Amino acid sequence: MITITDLHKRFRKTEAVSGLSLEVPEGQVTAFLGPNGAGKSTTIKCLLNLHRPDSGTIEVMGGDSRKLGPAQFTQIGYVSENMELPLWMTVKQFFNYCRPLYPNWDLGFEKQLLTQFDLPTGTKLKDLSRGMRMKAALLSSLAYRPKLVVLDEPFSGLDPLVRDEFIRGLLELTEQEGWTVFVSSHDIEEVQRLADRVAIINRGKLALDETSDSLQARFRAIEVVLPDDGRAPVNLPTDWLHAEQAGRTLRFTASRFANEESLAAALRGAIPTATHHEVRPMSLREIFVALARAYRLEGK
């Protein structure tokens, strides 16, 4: 659905994106994660032809992103946290204004989402709360049933109820052929149940691109109990991240867990004195935090 190849984008002295390559497959929800300033918004703006890349190419729905125009935009829904909306319009005027721009606008779907989102049609956009305004923006981007939905930090600052309504609204589109979502966030918490794939950007480059299932399969939190006065060896396997010892307990994150047997064997090899150990699956959020810490250490 989207293929980004060696994307570079610089703003004066700041290199926002430096050689990012990423594939967003059709029919899935891909979460695009990274700390603030990692280059997420710049990447999204490049792929929607709102910024011109310095170099590299982006293919969106089979065409060059630099040639995206009105015809393609009727197939793409885009909501960004700092989107400029015509604030002087009422909700109703806003939808009246959007409708003719999209020949595929679905009036029935608009009505359904309007009821579901509980939007006051007579209120001006500038008088709406942030959450309500985001819902209005989402409605205006879903009502024409786009094939590709691109969301840039859509959840930041939304309360849990509005976030829940927002996600539900998004999932209303799922009957669509080739339904694809690309959603950026600095916080995995917001998307961890929704994401089929996780792509992490760090310092303008792709740091990770993997399915949620495979991430949850290969990461484990391990606790090892050492004998009295036992010290863990200094050189532990490199795929054991963030080893920390407190008293007799050594904790680390195994990043290439395959099964209990091979882990036990590796433990016997690395820490022969260990008395016993526990293995616990990790949430995507915990995995994200462990990875983010590892990237920060790499950068130093």
Which residues of this chain interact with another protein, rule CB under 8 A? 27-29, 164, 167-168, 171-172, 174-175, 179, 192-196, 212-213, 216-217, 280-286
| Distance between CA atoms of residues 3 and 88, nearest Å | 37
| Nearest distance from C-beta of residue 264 to another protein, angstroms | 15
Residue nearer to another protein on the CB measure, 44 or 284? 284
Provide the minimum distance between the beta carbon of 235 and another protein in the complex, in angstroms, as a whole number.
30
Is the Cβ of residue 79 or residue 125 nearer to another protein in the bound state? 79
**Least Å distance between CB 166 and another protein?**
10
Q: Least separation, in Å, of the C-beta of 150 and another protein?
A: 16
Taking the least distance from each CB to another protein, the nearer of 38 and 191 is 191
CB of 29 to another protein, least distance (A): 4
- Minimum CB distance to another protein smaller for 231 or for 285: 285
Tokens of 217: 């399969």
Q: Which is closer to another protein, CB of 95 or CB of 179?
A: 179
